Amino acid sequence: MRTALSSLSLLEPRSLQEALSMLRDAPGTTPLAGGTDLYVGLNFGTVRETRFLDLSRLRPLREIALQGDVLSIGALATYTDIVRSPLVAERLPILASAAREIGGVQIQNRGTVGGNVANASPAGDTLPVLAAADAVVVLQRAGGSRRVPFTGFYTGYRKSVRRADELIVAIEVPPVEGRQWFRKVGTRAAQAISKVVMAGIRSPRPRLALGSVAPTVLRLPLTEASLAASGSIEEARRVLAREIQPIDDLRSTAAYRHRVAGNLLAQFWSLPESLAPLISRRIAARLRTQPVEDYRLDFEDGYGNRSDAEEDSHAISAAREVVTGMAAGTLSSSIGVRIKPLTEELRARSFRTLDLFVTQMVRDAGRLPDNFVVTLPKVTAPEQVAAIAEIFEALERGLSLPAGALALEIMVETPQSIIGPAGEISIGGLVSAAGGRCLAAHFGTYDYTASLNITAAHQHMLHPACDFARHAMQAALAGTGVWISDGATNVLPIPPHRGEDRTLTGREIARNRAAVHAAWKLHYDHVRHSLANAFYQGWDLHPAQLPTRYAALYAFFLEGLDAASARLTNFVEKAGQATLVGDVFDDAATGQGLLSFFLRASACGAITEQEAVEKSGLTLEELRSRSFVRILAGRRAAAVRGRETGNGSRATKGSETAAVPRGQLDRESKD
């Protein structure tokens, strides 16, 4: 039955302090904002409260503003206010997306974000957004105020930590970095309560929240950790299924909500549809022009143990094939040979293969190929590196090569190459033992995990032990100029059923397709994990892995392009002053990182040179300098000259771009 309005009383404060005093002095008073939920309860007779506090005159609580680098949304901001706010559109656009999904225009004009939070419905559309964004609820009472992390605000179904004498006065949202995503699933496209609602932030630290799948809106830390660790959507779906607690009710069933939540997770983690055609075209172009940047002829694990006579023959024939490629101009831009490790049993064989290979190339071609390098696997001690450096010197003298012509890469694939006998990080010592010849360090996933007695089923690139080793490599080699590279995915996209002598059945064809697609997805996830952890190079074992490597690489850079563009452009225009752009506070220390983003994106083919110029706000000459400090110095000098002569200070891009041959930025950014 309907509530009799004559039995209700209304308090009408004119200021926030008056409202807080009324709450303190009149226990049992219920705050009233837009009233969109309260009026429904009054109509159905489910409202027990009889005294209400009208907040409509507290206009300051409707403001949306920046306070430092924090977006502050007043509790009385309506959904219409949120949709129309430029700050929300710039900083938290998924909140505007959620606001558009709530009811009709009348509801959006009256309903408030504070009311949505206070109502504590697990189906509240804005709540997953605020949970995923690490929002903070600002509570105030007559005696003071406090801030409660959104993820700790709710204690149960329609229950929160808000005390009876407190008002929600604002929602604060810290800077949010990453691609934002929101989806609502209801009975209709609009004006329907959510069956499932999800919000997410895609970044190296993914953030996810779901509504309508538990007694409260639910942040998903276990699912987030799964995505961050492995990137595997299949594993993340299994974790999600254990983390949510949907029920059967009038709107839906638990089974349906489980399925929809998993599907939404897959949509959130997949490639944006708008980028897919562009990435596809650029992959095709890359595969036609320069599919392989670096190549190793392998005389180690991929070659195996053969007779000395056979390996001698193959070392000589492989060298001759390289010389043929040199003459034809068909070699990759870098090339090298991987020899066997310098263990007691294999050292002599390793040195002999290297001697035969290098000597044959120099005899036939008179020189080494450009960017030639020797890869030394399974390094355990500096003495091994020093020994190979001595062999290099002997070969250079014997073949009349310039000193230092032979360069070295070490493979980090043993525990001893990470931690030395005294507990020190040993990678720096290994590099130093090369006497300046070491150009790169490559991580070897499978030998490393095997050396730690990790069972075969768990020997993969996403194992936490591998992350530890890679982080040690980064820390030890930072600023040294030594390149770091990640390992390879050993699950290859090869169909299990072959049809050379018969026609495959429909089931076999389906299994082939599923096997290849699964291997591609695994490889894609591995590459994305490497990129998120700042390993921008990696090795592949099969040509069919190249499409997914470039897909992951291009998606990584294109997804972050607009955000990086806004930050770098604004920062450079401020001539290096610390500045707030969107949701990230930049200072001079980040400038070089933003510049490197564009250099890497252009070098790998994710963006063109012209796009790098347009998106970065720099000239091609400035990009080619590869130095953020030089760019700022040049801009400031130009500004001074402009003031002295009365001319503008902005550089012209056209003349500088035209003066540089196409492709120059790509070549120079890889040096």
Residue 338: which CATH number?
3.20.20.60
Provide the pLDDT for residue 129: 97
Q: Write the CB contacts of 432 (distance below 8 Å, at least 6 apart in sequence).
A: 382
Torsion of Cα atoms, 36 then 40 then 45 then 46, to 10°: -70
Structural domain span for residue 601: 560-670
Q: Write the CB contacts of 13 (distance below 8 Å, at least 6 apart in sequence).
A: 19, 21, 22, 53, 54, 55, 57, 58
Provide the pLDDT for residue 668: 33
Residue 371 in tokens: 């960017």
Q: Per the domain annotation, does 573 fall within a domain?
A: yes
| Residues 221, 239: Cα–Cα separation, whole Å | 10
| Residues 345, 582: Cα–Cα separation, whole Å | 59
- Concatenate the DSSP letters of all residues of 206-249 into one string: -EEEEESSSSS-EE-HHHHHHHHHH--HHHHHHHHHHH------
Number of alpha helices (DSSP H) and beta strands (DSSP E) in the chain: 27, 22
| Residues 228, 269: Cα–Cα separation, whole Å | 11
**Do 172 and 93 share a structural domain?**
yes
Q: Per the domain annotation, does 441 fall within a domain?
A: yes
Provide the pLDDT for residue 657: 26
Name the packing angle between helices 609-616 and 588-604 (round to 10°).
Answer: 160
**Do 294 and 261 share a structural domain?**
no
**Do 175 and 209 share a structural domain?**
yes
Provide the pLDDT for residue 104: 81
**Do 468 and 326 share a structural domain?**
yes
| Residues 583, 70: Cα–Cα separation, whole Å | 8
Q: Per the domain annotation, does 493 fall within a domain?
A: no
Residue 232 in tokens: 């595997």
Residue 235: which CATH number?
3.30.465.10
Which of 208, 239, 269 is the last residue in one of the domains?
Answer: 269
The per-residue pLDDT for range 93-112, each reduced to its tens digit, is: 899 889 988 888 888 899 99
Provide the pLDDT for residue 271: 65
Q: Write the CB contacts of 154 (distance below 8 Å, at least 6 apart in sequence).
A: 120, 160, 161, 216, 217
**Do 259 and 309 share a structural domain?**
no
Question: H helices within 605-663, ranges in order?
Answer: 609-616, 620-625, 628-645, 653-659
pTM of the model: 0.64
Residue 396, H or E segment: helix 382-398
Residue 500 in tokens: 């050379």
> What is the distance in angstroms between the CA of the first residue and the CA of the last residue of the chain?
78
| Residues 357, 315: Cα–Cα separation, whole Å | 5
CB 129 within 8 A of CB 209: yes
**Do 311 and 224 share a structural domain?**
no
Burial 383-399 (b: 16+ CB within 10 A, else e): ebbebbbebbeebbeeb
Q: Write the CB contacts of 260 (distance below 8 Å, at least 6 apart in sequence).
A: 185, 195, 196
**Do 187 and 300 share a structural domain?**
no
- Please classify residue 108 by burial: count the beta carbons closer than 10 Å to its beta carbon, then call 0-12 exposed, 13-18 middle and 19+ buried: buried
| Residues 438, 125: Cα–Cα separation, whole Å | 55
The CA-based diameter of the chain, rounded to the nearest angstrom, is 106
Give the count of beta carbons closer than 10 Å to the beta carbon of residue 249: 12
For the chain, residues with pLDDT lower than 70 are 1-6, 44, 188-192, 230-231, 271-273, 573-589, 646-671
**Do 361 and 254 share a structural domain?**
no
Q: Per the domain annotation, does 521 fall within a domain?
A: no
* Number of domains the chain is built from: 3
Question: H helices within 233-370, ranges in order?
Answer: 233-243, 254-269, 276-289, 308-328, 347-365
Q: Per the domain annotation, does 524 fall within a domain?
A: no
**Do 173 and 80 share a structural domain?**
yes
Give the count of beta carbons closer than 10 Å to the beta carbon of residue 145: 13
The per-residue pLDDT for range 550-601, each reduced to its tens digit, is: 999 999 899 888 778 877 877 776 654 544 444 444 456 677 888 889 999 9
Q: Per the domain annotation, does 500 fall within a domain?
A: no
**Do 301 and 263 share a structural domain?**
no
Provide the pLDDT for residue 455: 92
Provide the pLDDT for residue 628: 82
CB 339 within 8 A of CB 354: yes
Residue 151 in tokens: 């993820």
Residue 632 in tokens: 């700022």
**Do 232 and 103 share a structural domain?**
yes
**Do 442 and 583 share a structural domain?**
no
| Residues 563, 167: Cα–Cα separation, whole Å | 36
Q: Per the domain annotation, does 16 fall within a domain?
A: yes
Provide the pLDDT for residue 670: 36
Provide the pLDDT for residue 6: 59
Q: Per the domain annotation, does 555 fall within a domain?
A: no
CB 504 within 8 A of CB 497: yes
CB 525 within 8 A of CB 230: yes
Residue 568 in tokens: 């770098």
